[in-house]
Amino acid sequence: MLTKFDVPPTRAELMKLYKGTLSFQCAFLNMDLIGIRFLESQEIIVIQYRGAFKCGFIYEGEKFTNAQLLEAYDDAPKIYDDLQEYERKHHEFIELLVVRKHDYVFITEAEVQPKIPIKKL
């Protein structure tokens, strides 16, 4: 089932939607994904922060040119901690879509067990 959300769903919403079973993508460990919605076009660019530093973006829209995407990426703060100032400075043009910290998912120390027995060589 593929579902599109306007804003990131909460942990409780995800648990209800997926009946308590969630897949975790390890490529996103220590990564924050921050959506920037441009109010005029309603397009969203997702800026990726690894640790506290900007490292990439995701864009699935159709309206922005490559030059506009590069400008939006360059304008976004290089450091995660500067996002509030960035939003305050550009509040009439953008809206930040940020996951609430209490909805973050943490992996415990539990051992991962395969569901299908693995044949030993």
Task: Indicate the pLDDT class of residue 1, thresholds 50, 70 and 90.
Answer: very low
Give per-residue pLDDT as tens, 31-85: 888 999 999 999 999 999 988 899 999 999 999 999 999 999 999 999 999 999 9
Distance between CA atoms of 28 and 32, rounded to whole angstroms?
Answer: 8
Which of 102, 93, 94 shows the shortest CA–CA distance to 34? 94
pLDDT above 90 coverage of the chain, percent: 50
- Average pLDDT across the chain, whole number: 80
pTM as predicted: 0.65
Q: Are strands 44-50 and 31-38 parallel, antiparallel or unpaired?
A: antiparallel
What's the pLDDT at 98? Answer: 85
Question: Over 60: is that where the pLDDT of 114 sits?
Answer: no
Q: Are 100 and 115 contacting, i.e. CB atoms less than 8 angstroms apart?
A: no
Q: From edge to edge, which strands make up the β-sheet containing 44-50?
A: 53-59, 44-50, 31-38, 94-97
Which of 47, 23, 45 shows the shortest CA–CA distance to 33? 47
Q: How far is CA 100 from the centre of its chain?
A: 11
Amino acid identity of residue 102, one-letter, is H
